Structure 1
Amino acid sequence: MRVKVESTGGFTGREAVVALYDTAALPSGTAGRIRDAVQALDAAQARGDQGEVGADLPAYRITVSEDSGVREETRVYEVRGDPTTDDGSPALRTLLAGPDAT
């Protein structure tokens, strides 16, 4: 699984890649945390969670690519809000923490 996290919101609206992961190249514990975070994003999307609303809030685009053996599947998640607050997305916090975070 490959995961790309891009910052897309805030006042400037500039886009920047802030994290890249390839779970095949990570230790199993780290890869598991990344997979768990993506599953949490899936669950939030299924519930219809929209995150916070506001033009000045941080926003992130998370692109997940997986090779199913037949074709590559890509999913994109949009997460809004400050991940550092208690109301922020725990899955996004995990993805922004970097591969060495425990």
Structure 2
Amino acid sequence: MQVKIESTGGFAGDQVMVAMYDTADLSEPEAKKIRHAVESLSVAEEAARPGEIGADLPAYRITVDGPDGEHRVFDVEGEHPPALDEPLTILLRGPQEPAAPPQGGRPPKPPSPSGL
């Protein structure tokens, strides 16, 4: 399964590729996360009602080409239902587990450009 995520719209009407995955190139656990996110996106989109749409709100186009030749396109525009949060986050961040925070809490802050 190949998945392409693009950021669309905005004031300039640009379309920028954010991420691209081919589940054949991922480990099985990572591929499973991507497949699950796509299926969750499909279910949530079918039940969703359109939210607020505006040029300044984030919008994504997710194109999925399945192994059986199936081609699906999901447009997530403006305010979206909470059910889309998790699958969209997985697709935007990637299937890898986030890195563990350093021991002792937060990482040190970078030095201030002003030197204060």
Give TM class, smaller chain. Answer: 0.7 to 0.9
Q: What is the match of residue 80 of structure 1?
A: 77
CA RMSD of aligned residues (A): 2.3
Q: Name which one, 1 or 2, has greater alpha-carbon Rg.
A: 2
- Normalization by structure 1: what TM-score? 0.80
User: How far off its partner does 1:51 sit?
Assistant: 4.5
Distance 1:24 1:37 in 2: 16
SS in 1 for 2:70: strand
User: How far off its partner does 1:87 sit?
Assistant: 8.4
Given residue 41 of structure 1, which amino acid in structure 2 is its aligned partner? L
Given residue 90 of structure 2, which amino acid in structure 1 is its aligned partner? T
User: How far off its partner does 1:25 sit?
Assistant: 1.0
Q: What is the match of residue 19 of structure 1?
A: 19
Q: What is the match of residue 100 of structure 1?
A: 96
Q: What is the match of residue 60 of structure 2?
A: 60
Cα gap change, 1:33 to 1:82, in 2 (>3 Å) = farther
Q: How many residues align?
A: 97
The answer to whether structure 1 residue 90 and structure 2 residue 99 are counterparts is no
Structure 1: runs of 5 or more not aligned:
none
Given residue 32 of structure 2, which amino acid in structure 1 is its aligned partner? G
Cα gap change, 1:19 to 1:54, in 2 (>3 Å) = same
